[in-house]
A and B are shown apart, each in its own frame.
Chain A
Amino acid sequence: MSNYLNHTSGWKSWVFTLDHKRIGIMYLVAILSSFLLGGIFAMLIRTELLSPGQTIMDADTYNRTFTLHGAIMIFLFIIPSIPAALGNFVLPVMLGAKDVAFPRLNLMSFWLYCFGAVFAVFSLVTKAVDTGWTFYTPYSTTTSASVISMTLGAVILGFSSIFTGLNFVVTIHKLRPKWMTFFKMPLFLWSLYATSIIQILATPVLGITLLLLIAERTMGIGIFDPGLGGDPVLYQHFFWFYSHPAVYIMILPAMGIVSELISVFSRKTIFGYRAIAYSSVAIALFGFFVWGHHMFTSGQSTLANMIFSLLTFSVSIPSAIKVFNWLATLYKGSISLAAPMLYALMFIFLFAIGGLTGLFLGTLATDVHLHDTYFVVAHFHYVMFGGTMIAFLGGLHYWWPKMFGKMYSEKLAALAAALIFVGFNMTFFTQFVMGTRGMPRRYYNYPEEFTTAHQISSIGSYIMGLGFVLIASYLVYSLMWGKKAPGNPWGAATLEWSHCPSPPPHDNFAEVPSQDTDPYDYSIVKYDEESDSYHLA
């Protein structure tokens, strides 16, 4: 049967494709390559930290390694991961549309991402950037590392992300079928919509920062450089004005995926649909007003610190509401523990820790002690890895049969999920303890009393690495020799499963589904034993 994968062939049919599904797959390959690269640097960091002082590299190499790890994971992997790869593939199909609103812009966004990624990695390596992914001035302007070329890289990647965001907003507004109101949209689309708004509004600040840096460098206008009468802390304001909302660019789509998974694998309508939808919008909105909580010890005024602390707590409420709604969805469900659901449950576990440890950091008195220690490193990884990465893996396992029409081994998937769960907690829970005891972050050398904790952390990271090797192996195996996937193996009621075969045809739907359906009404799909699949009732 003709599908989007065999519809046309030859390399040009991919490089110049306007099909959102092929662009999504190309994004997937690109971001997974970035993840591999960032992951290798993570392993190098953990290996160096097996003992105090030099283990496998010198201090300068270590500083470059953690900079590469952070910058690659944030800008090349997490930000585009769910929206650009999974979102591109799924969004139009979920909407019952044939493509995004601007297919050419979509292709441009992808190639801009590739160009930005190569540019960023190239300047990180050739300029031996050792500033950390935050590029704080004046350190970043006084070393050989060029903050300008790094910001330029981030701006190029930022444009790619603005284009995707713009495309998604217009697509959601204009290409929905007539019967699909905003409140009949799957929650993944609500979260992508909220994410897109942040991408469009926050990313331009990166461009402004770049212009200011260039003005300072070429015209000698003192903006950030204290030598010229500028203020280095101002740079931190600019940086976090973008980078804090960017944290929500990273976590919101992950919450969207979890909302889908929890509902589908419990065969239960999502509890509190409106509360979840509105909380995505609330998080997107509040996310713009909390950047100052990264700077409680920077010498920022007491009044500003008080306001930012208060506003920071406001973001915790919509996140808590989502977690409670997911739990209520499980109530009286019919819960299947297929691989995507394992990741959804793991998300709730890890994100709960990530979110609750955020309370210590939002509180002024405790943040002063914990700021810039391993506690922050652990908190951040529980949210970004335990949250976004785990949800990404859940989404990848969920939509994999749709993308490639192949099933993977459930047993191996469960084993890999277990390895990642154990390895992750070993790696990062120890870091909470190190942090409260005073271990500062970005330390090449450390006091001997922290050696055991660092070693447990490193061993955990190797176990996690093993989990990823296993995932890569069975997914690649499934592409070659996997069982053929039915159209709707999970029994989902959203359009990409209920109305569209696996893999989807070039145009997604022969006809746009005209029937009014509820994305979480599972009575419309019935299990058929013969085909081991669900079909429209």
Chain B
Amino acid sequence: MKGILSNPLLAQGFWMPVKGSSMAGEVDWIFQFILWVALFFFVLVVGIMAVFVMRYRRRPGVEPEESPSHNTKLEIVWSVIPIILVMIMFYAGFKTYLGMETPPRSSHEVQVVGQKWQWTFIYPNGYSDPVLHLPIDEPVQLLMRSDDVIHSFFVPAFRVKKDVVPGRFTKAWFEPNLAGVFPVYCAEYCGTGHSDMTTAVVVHEPGGFEEWMATAANLYADLPPAEAGKMLYAAKGCTACHSIDGTKMVGPSFKSVFGKTETMKSGENITVDENYLRESIYNPQVKVLEGYEPVMPTYQGTINDEELGYIIEFIKSLAE
């Protein structure tokens, strides 16, 4: 992931990152407009201040010259000009924002699930992946939901950000127009792993997306089950809480857990077998290991039966 995030494309421009979507140009134009207005007023204010401070420095025995205590004309001028300028900013910002909120009818839909601390992208064919793959020059609409707390889907290169809120769907759309790999961040604070809730969006050249999808969707069928399970272990985000080297993280390590007899919070002793693992993935709050908190969300609907089988094979392969 480090390699993806330090994408050299990002070095473009002093302020804004590389423009990767159809909206980016318009947003940057407004940014530049405000920047120049702000620079003008900043130089004006600080310049006048500096000149006055030098010109009218206190000299012993010299009283200040007479000057007016107010000037209605001047005061109206310096109130009206800023009003006009900010109204232009407001209008331009709102107009572009309307476009950012109105997806074209031809948009493809990808479902996004945010959960502590990973993103899952579900394609119309049911295939899910932790990295967002998209074809270039085609509008896409994200239908987003959260399984736990509020997250926020943020792609700087696309100038897109939208909160992902539990209990409702939120939507975002954009049209990527530059092939490449761009970082995706979670922008709403969500706890321990917030700053690692990052992934990438891969924008494919024409034809590349279809090719990728064809291999990706059949990925696991050609592999030994434990190998497929290992890939799913990473893809489904198990890595965030479960180690495979025995290190205790938020959840128990997968290393040599299979076949062992463990003590539950309830005091009950249970031998870890296939059915226990299945229950722990689909209904994780029911039987919690002593020494751990019941914080794992359910994966019912995120991991299907076939995938579950592979993951269990993988955990079995880690037994001694």
A contacts, CB < 8 Å to B: 59-60, 63, 130-132, 136, 138-139, 142-143, 226-227, 229-233, 266-275, 297-299, 302, 305-306, 309-310, 313, 316-317, 320-321, 323-325, 327-328, 330-337, 345, 348-349, 352-353, 356-357, 359-360, 362-369, 371-373, 433, 436-438, 440-449, 522
Contacts and interface: CB of A to CB of B under 8 A. Distances in A.
Contact of B96 (A139, A362, A364): A364
Contacts of B221: none
Given A336-B58, A365-B27, A132 B189 contact: yes
B41 A356 contact: yes
- Where chain A touches its partner, the secondary structure class is helix
B42 A309 contact: no
24 contacts: A59-B192, A59-B193, A63-B189, A63-B191, A142-B148, A232-B150, A267-B58, A270-B69, A271-B69, A272-B71, A272-B75, A273-B69, A316-B82, A317-B83, A323-B45, A333-B64, A348-B46, A364-B96, A365-B96, A365-B100, A367-B93, A368-B159, A436-B16, A437-B17
Given A327-B49, A440-B154, A442-B194, A274 B70 contact: yes
B222 interface: no
Contacts of B94: 306, 309, 364-365
Nearest to B189: A442
A138 B165 CA distance: 9
Interface residues of B, number: 88
A268 B46 CA distance: 19
A438 B78 contact: no
Interface of B: 2, 5-6, 10-11, 14-17, 26-27, 30-31, 34-35, 37-38, 41-42, 45-46, 48-49, 52-53, 56-59, 62-71, 74-75, 78-79, 82-83, 86-87, 89-90, 92-98, 100-101, 148-150, 152, 154, 156-157, 159-163, 165-168, 170, 183, 185-196
A273 B68 CA distance: 12
Contacts of B154: 372, 438, 440
Contacts, number: 264
Contacts of B190: 139
B185 A349 contact: no
A46 B236 CA distance: 33
B166 A369 contact: no
A375 B175 CA distance: 25
A368 B82 contact: no
Contact of A447 (B95, B162, B183): B183
Closest 4 A/B residue pairs (Cβ): A226-B167, A438-B156, A363-B93, A364-B97
B189 A136 contact: yes
Nearest to B62: A334
A352 B45 contact: yes
Contacts of B63: 267, 334
Most A-side CB within 10 Å, residue of B26, B75, B183: B75
Contact of B30 (A272, A320, A325, A365): A365
Given A345-B49, A373-B187, A433-B15, A366 B34 contact: yes
Contacts of A335: 52-53, 56-58
Given A299-B165, A369-B161, 5 more contacts: A313-B86, A364-B96, A366-B30, A437-B10, A449-B11
Contact of B167 (A232, A317, A334): A232
A216 to B, nearest CB: 14
A443 B195 contact: yes
Nearest to A369: B159
Nearest to A338: B58
B268 to A, nearest CB: 25
B105 to A, nearest CB: 18
A335 B2 CA distance: 54
Contact of B149 (A139, A362, A436, A440): A139
A353 B45 CA distance: 10
A333 B74 CA distance: 18
A174 B267 CA distance: 69
Contact of A309 (B35, B93, B166, B187): B93
Contacts of A356: 38, 41-42
Contacts of B15: 433, 436-437
A438 B90 CA distance: 23
A365 B97 CA distance: 5
A271 B149 CA distance: 51
A336 B64 CA distance: 11
Given A305-B97, A436-B15, A320 B10 contact: no
A237 to B, nearest CB: 13
A302 B165 contact: no
Contact of A320 (B11, B57, B78): B78
Contact of B93 (A131, A365, A440): A365
Contacts of B157: 438
A327 B38 contact: no
Contact of A440 (B30, B78, B187): B187
A323 B70 CA distance: 14
Contact of B46 (A273, A309, A352): A352
A442 to B, nearest CB: 4
Contacts of B78: 320-321, 324
B56 A332 contact: yes
Contact of A232 (B64, B166, B195): B166
A438 B17 contact: yes
B156 A369 contact: yes
A440 B46 contact: no
A369 B83 CA distance: 24
Nearest to A138: B149
A331 B90 CA distance: 33
Nearest to A315: B86
Interface-central residue, A132, A272, A348, A440, by most chain B CB under 10 Å: A440
Nearest to A140: B149
B241 to A, nearest CB: 13
Among A139, A345, A360, the one with the most B-chain Cβ atoms within 10 Å of its Cβ is A139
A309 B161 CA distance: 17
A490 to B, nearest CB: 12
A320 B67 CA distance: 22
A305 B95 CA distance: 12
Contacts of B100: 365, 368
A243 to B, nearest CB: 16
Contact of A327 (B6, B52, B79, B170): B52
Contacts of B168: 226, 231, 299
B192 A447 contact: no
B54 to A, nearest CB: 9
Contact of B75 (A302, A321, A330): A321
A348 B42 CA distance: 10
B137 to A, nearest CB: 21
Contacts of A444: 194-195
B37 A372 contact: no
B70 A273 contact: yes
A371 B52 contact: no
Nearest to A230: B167
Nearest to A62: B195
Contacts of B195: 59, 440, 442-446
A436 B14 CA distance: 9
A270 B56 CA distance: 16
